[in-house]
């Protein structure tokens, strides 16, 4: 792969790419072409009011039966690892709850948590052509969702779509984005959005496109690393700019977008030392507006509780009697809610997991009440103490204003936030595809 061949593509992407990972060649070229990102929060990174992805739920879509075994053998584990890791914890700084949008209108009022890997599905595309247009990918995804070949997008309690479809292509297939740019020559990957009706409401469904990497040069020292670098870039950007595909302008419903550099992955791409390792996988760093630098993880985050962004709990973190459960949704230690959460023990009225079940109600006045043989000291108490330990799924709901974002990001001077707009009404009612945003 010659450097000359990539030079033009690189320079074009520096200024024209929004949602794409641009191709890159040797490390020396990376250095030469490095974007000089100031190591302070960018005054040009704004929150434009669109949705983020709270609990990214990755579905791998294999375009036909011949996608590389590098993908089928590794990417499920990669997504499972990364979505449940520190790679997503610090993206909580891109919560939109309490953040004023750049236009002064409503926020999507969401939080960014860890996610999950859902499944991998090989589809049989309607067309077997080796050239595939972006519009075809959107219609194929919608059709396969409609016929239940692919899982239906999950809409969470904050009203956003969690499911993101990562579409992988076989060797020999060239994908063209909506401006005619070809995979591996104009870009290494991109993410977009299409609109479809889910549960009787119009939803912005995010997806990402990853071509076969064996013949691409996308910054990794191995083919797997090229997949994981590109996929991590697109995942982080889809999470923080989920609706990029339903607008062409710089404005709503973009979420976090920098008017000079693009999305949070673009800001860091090809900068010095722009990759890191998460669970053994090479990933791309992304821009932290909070820290003013590119990071993949932040070991200084506090355990999730009252502060965000935060480190999601592990079971071993949740050891107090009143908060014995690690909530997989928001990463906080909380009270138990049912016996099923207590690993064979009983969830008492204080939200503690205790050794013995409560004494069964007496049905025979002549029978001696059962003696607790393991319950001494753990008897159910009255509800007088419950106020300090009641379950709280919302975690830090009372402290969700991301003040740091507004201060450092300079997005708005106004602390007064209008309530969230009815997003569904702002989008087309009928099933419709929207093209990926380009500038």
The 235-254 site mask, x for binding Zn ion (CB under 5 A), equals --x-----------------
CA distance 64 to 47: 37
Parallel/antiparallel/unpaired status of strands 57-63 and 116-123: parallel
Listed in sequence order, the residues at least 6 apart from 142 whose beta carbon sits closer than 8 Å to its beta carbon are 194, 196, 205, 431, 433
Minimum distance from CB of 265 to Zn ion (Å)? 4
Nearer to Zn ion among residue 97 and residue 237 (C-beta): 237
List the interface residues with Zn ion, window 209-238 (CB under 5 A).
Answer: 237
Nearest distance from C-beta of residue 246 to Zn ion, angstroms: 17
**Does residue 265 bind Zn ion (CB under 5 A)?**
yes
DSSP symbols for 155-172? B-TTS-B-EEEEEE--TT
Considering the complex, state which of residue 13 and residue 113 has its C-beta at the smaller distance from Zn ion.
Answer: 13
Candidates 53-61, 255-263, 352-360, 416-424; binding stretch for Zn ion (CB under 5 A): 255-263
CB of 263 to Zn ion, least distance (A): 5
CB 217 within 8 Å of CB 25: yes
Q: Following CA atoms 213, 219, 224, 230 in sequence, which dihedral angle do they give, to the nearest 10 degrees?
A: -70
Residue (138 or 230) nearer to Zn ion, CB: 230
Residue (89 or 237) nearer to Zn ion, CB: 237
Residue 92-111 contact track with Zn ion, rule CB under 5 A, x = bound:
--------------------
What angle in degrees, to the nearest 10, is found between the helix axes of 69-83 and 223-240?
A: 40
Angle at 162 between CA 235 and CA 267, to 5 degrees: 25
| Interface segment toward Zn ion; rule CB under 5 A; list 126-134, 264-272, 322-330, 374-382 | 264-272
Considering the complex, state which of residue 111 and residue 436 has its C-beta at the smaller distance from Zn ion.
436
**Run of H or E residues at 226:** helix 223-240
- Based on the number of CB atoms within 10 Å of its own CB, is 108 exposed (0-12), middle (13-18) or buried (19 or more)? buried
Measured at the CA of 174, the angle between CA 129 and CA 149, to 5 degrees, comes to 60
In angstroms, the CA 185 to CA 23 distance is 7
Instruction: Give the residue among 228, 293, 214 at the shortest CA–CA distance from 21.
Output: 228
Please state the closest distance from residue 92 (CB atom) to Zn ion, in A. Answer: 20
Candidate ranges 36-44, 244-252, 260-268, 277-285; the one touching Zn ion (CB under 5 A): 260-268
According to DSSP, the residues that pair with 176 across neighbouring strands are 133, 182
| CB nearer to Zn ion: pick between 264 and 417 | 264
The distance of closest approach from Cβ of residue 394 to Zn ion in the complex, given in angstroms and rounded to an integer, is: 32
Least distance (Å) from Zn ion to the CB of residue 293?
18
From the list 93, 266, 327, 330, which residue makes contact with Zn ion (rule: CB under 5 A)?
266
Which position has the token pair 């909070």? 290
Closer to Zn ion at the Cβ: 60 or 244?
244
**Considering the complex, what minimum distance in angstroms separates the CB of residue 299 from Zn ion?**
25
Minimum gap (Å) between residue 21 Cβ and Zn ion: 5
Under a CB-based contact definition with an 8 Å cutoff, are residues 378 and 61 in contact? Answer: no
CB of 269: closest distance to Zn ion in angstroms?
Answer: 7
Nearer Cβ to Zn ion, position 57 or 263?
263
- Cβ closest to Zn ion, residue 158 vs residue 237: 237
Q: Which is nearer to Zn ion, 237 or 348 (by Cβ)?
A: 237
User: Closest distance between Zn ion and the C-beta of residue 372, in Å?
Assistant: 60
Q: Could you count the other beta carbons within 10 Å of the beta carbon of residue 422?
A: 10
> In this complex, which beta carbon is closest to Zn ion, that of residue 290 or of residue 436?
436
Interaction mask 271-300, Zn ion, x per CB under 5 A: ------------------------------
Question: H-helix or E-strand containing 346?
Answer: strand 346-347
Number of residues forming the site for Zn ion (CB under 5 A): 4
Min dist. Cβ of residue 19 to Zn ion (A): 6
Rounded Cα distance, 195 and 53, in Å:
15
Contacts of 326 (CB under 8 A, 6+ apart): 312, 313, 314, 315, 317, 318, 332, 333
Please tell me the distance from the alpha carbon of residue 93 to that of residue 403, in angstroms, as a whole number.
10
Q: In which element (H, E) is residue 257 found? A: strand 256-258
Binding site for Zn ion (CB under 5 A): 237, 263, 265-266
């Amino acid at each position: 792969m010659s450097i000359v061949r990539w030079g033009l593509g690189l320079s074009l992407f520096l200024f024209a790419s929004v949602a794409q990972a641009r191709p890159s060649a040797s490390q020396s070229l990376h250095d030469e072409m490095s974007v000089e990102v100031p190591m302070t929060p960018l005054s040009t990174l704004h929150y434009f009011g669109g949705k983020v992805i709270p609990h990214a739920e990755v579905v791998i879509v294999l375009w036909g039966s011949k996608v590389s075994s590098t993908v089928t053998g590794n990417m499920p584990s990669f997504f499972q690892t990364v979505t449940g890791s520190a790679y997503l914890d610090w993206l909580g700084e891109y919560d939109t709850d309490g953040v004023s949008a750049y236009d002064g209108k409503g926020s999507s009022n969401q939080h960014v948590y860890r996610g999950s890997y859902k499944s991998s599905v090989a589809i049989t595309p309607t067309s077997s052509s080796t050239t595939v247009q972006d519009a075809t990918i959107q219609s194929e995804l919608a059709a396969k969702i409609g016929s239940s070949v692919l899982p239906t997008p999950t809409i969470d309690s904050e009203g956003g779509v969690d499911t993101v479809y990562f579409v992988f292509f076989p060797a020999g297939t060239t994908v063209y984005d909506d401006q005619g740019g070809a995979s591996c020559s104009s870009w290494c990957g991109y993410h977009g959005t299409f609109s479809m009706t889910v549960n009787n409401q119009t939803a912005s469904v995010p997806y990402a496109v990853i071509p076969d990497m064996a013949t691409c040069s996308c910054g990794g020292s191995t083919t797997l690393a090229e997949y994981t670098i590109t996929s991590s870039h697109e995942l982080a950007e889809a999470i923080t700019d989920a609706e990029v595909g339903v607008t062409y302008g710089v404005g709503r419903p973009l979420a976090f977008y920098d008017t000079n550099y693009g999305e949070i992955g673009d800001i860091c791409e090809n900068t010095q030392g722009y990759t890191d390792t998460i669970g053994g996988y090479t990933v791309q760093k992304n821009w932290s507006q909070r820290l003013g630098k590119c990071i993949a993880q932040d070991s200084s985050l506090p355990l999730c509780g009252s502060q965000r962004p935060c480190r999601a709990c592990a079971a071993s973190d949740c050891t107090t009697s009143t908060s014995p459960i690690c909530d997989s949704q928001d990463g906080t230690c909380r009270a138990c809610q049912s016996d099923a959460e207590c690993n064979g023990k009983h969830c008492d009225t204080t939200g503690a997991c205790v050794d013995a079940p409560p004494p069964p109600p007496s049905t025979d006045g002549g029978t001696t009440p059962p003696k607790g043989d393991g319950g001494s000291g753990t008897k159910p108490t009255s509800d007088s103490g419950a106020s300090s330990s009641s379950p709280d799924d919302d975690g830090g709901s009372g402290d969700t204003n991301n003040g740091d974002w507004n201060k450092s990001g300079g997005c708005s001077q106004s602390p007064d936030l209008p309530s969230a707009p009815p997003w569904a009404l702002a989008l087309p009612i009928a099933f419709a595809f929207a093209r990926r945003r380009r500038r």
